[in-house]
Homo-oligomer: A and B are copies of this chain.
Amino acid sequence: MSHQIATLAERKPAKKGTQTAHRVRRAALKLFARQGYAAVSMRQIATEVGVQPGALYNHFSTKQEILKDLMLSHMRDLLEAWQEHAANTDRPSDPLEAFVTFHIRHHLQRTEEVFISYMELRNLESQNFSEVEVERRRYEAILTAILEDGVKRGVYRIKETRVATRAIIAMLTGIPTWYRESGMLSAEQIEAIYLDMVHGSVSAMPLSPARKNR
């Protein structure tokens, strides 16, 4: 019950008109992801929905509002999903693993939202940008906290947990950009590979020989 778009359809099932708003979001999501916000016209969205352009304005007051809606609901959805996931999981022996697994699974199911969220930030007007940033930082804070806890517990060796947070999220978030093409690996395999890499990247460990004598 966490993705807003799906949610909307579920929550207000009967009201005929609301379906249109939903379909506008779906259409915009698809088109923004493929062509980018600036390159998509309201006409295209309307055509995809099967409606005249003017009709869109019954549901969103501007094109910008559609973008904001998509990005904000993606972030809130992500946070909500994490909370649900965390609530439903016993205290995990390895919180980082829990986070990485969650992140990969969640993102691989929402490649379009992910794309938009990382590419269209600059097209958000500043007020909307701020709102989205709040959510983004909230999400990053989750990982940062996990890392800091690990450092305290002596299992991770990280100089700058904020930097590490970004590095890890960038690495993970890059997956959907190429995942589509490579049919060779299952989502589970990718998950395992990235899990290993993330672990390695932050774990306290003997330095590699080449860096030892620095």
Interface residue ranges, A against B (CB under 8 Å):
34-39, 93-94, 96-97, 119, 122-123, 155, 157, 159-160, 162-164, 166-171, 173-175, 177-178, 182, 185, 189-190, 192-203, 205-211
Contacts and interface: CB of A to CB of B under 8 A. Distances in A.
Given A34-B122, A93-B210, A159-B196, 15 more contacts: A36-B38, A94-B209, A155-B209, A159-B189, A159-B193, A163-B185, A163-B194, A164-B197, A166-B174, A167-B197, A170-B171, A197-B202, A200-B200, A200-B201, A200-B205
B97 A210 contact: yes
A173 B190 CA distance: 20
Contacts of A207: 199
B93 A160 contact: no
Given A200-B203, A203-B205, A36 B164 contact: no
The 10 nearest A-B residue pairs measured at CB: A170-B174, A94-B210, A38-B38, A197-B201, A38-B39, A201-B201, A171-B171, A200-B200, A200-B201, A203-B208
A203 B160 CA distance: 20
Contacts of A197: 164, 167, 201-202
A74 B211 CA distance: 31
A211 B195 contact: yes
23 contacts: A35-B122, A36-B122, A36-B123, A94-B208, A96-B210, A159-B192, A159-B193, A159-B196, A163-B182, A163-B185, A164-B197, A166-B174, A167-B171, A170-B170, A170-B171, A170-B173, A170-B175, A171-B171, A196-B201, A196-B211, A198-B201, A199-B207, A205-B205
A193 B211 contact: no
Contacts of A206: 205
